[in-house]
Amino acid sequence: MTADASPPLRDAHDRAADAAPTPPATPLRWFLDPYVQIVIGALLVTASELLMKKGADAVEHAAGNVGIFGVAALASGWTWLGIISYVLSFVSWVHVLRFLPLGIAYALINVVHVLIPIGSWVFLGEQISARRWIGISIVVLGLYLVARPLARLEENL
């Protein structure tokens, strides 16, 4: 830990480190890294949202209006794949929260706001306007600002 790390962030990391020691040094240690898990969790959330949209669409096309509680969407296999993906992302998220403060972890998980529109475009064929691309770019810039001080801190550990 070096002096140029900002005090609030260092506090947060120290507290997290006190509360839960870093994962054991096994061959899988990189997999348990909270930042790796944030990326994996974000990909799982993206997959689950796309799958659930597919499921909701499939049911609506078959049976008309689905209603406010989307229970009818459970009739589609896509929805269940989405649920499995979501449960896995939840396990990943609980692991992340053991090591990172909620505010920082949630700031980073916002990468889903980039991944989901792009996923909707690539896999669901939804349109992305020029203005929407600009918004996505601003989100990416914001994520960069959030991640940069953290990355610098990690290098110094």
Contact status: 77 vs other proteins (CB under 8 A): no
Cβ closer to other proteins: 16 or 27? 16
Binding test (CB under 8 A) with other proteins, winner from 62, 91, 102, 151: 102
Query: What DSSP string describes the chain?
Result: --TTS-HHHHHHHHHHHHHSPPPPSSTTHHHH-HHHHHHHHHHHHHHHHHHHHHHHHHHHHHHS---SSGGGGGGSHHHHHHHHHHHHHHHHHHHHHHHS-HHHHHHHHTTHHHHHHHHHHHHH-----HHHHHHHHHHHHHHHHHHHHHHHHHHH-
- Binding track over 3-22 against other proteins, x by CB under 8 A: ---x-xx-xx--xx-xxx--
Binding test (CB under 8 A) with other proteins, winner from 79, 85, 89, 92: 79
- Region binding other proteins by CB under 8 A among candidate stretches 24-32, 36-44, 92-100: 92-100
**Which residue ranges make up the site for other proteins (CB under 8 A)?**
6, 8-9, 11-12, 15-16, 18-20, 49-50, 52-53, 56-57, 59-60, 65-71, 73, 79, 86, 90, 93-94, 97-98, 101-104, 106-107, 110, 113, 116-117, 120-121, 124, 126-129, 131-132, 134-150
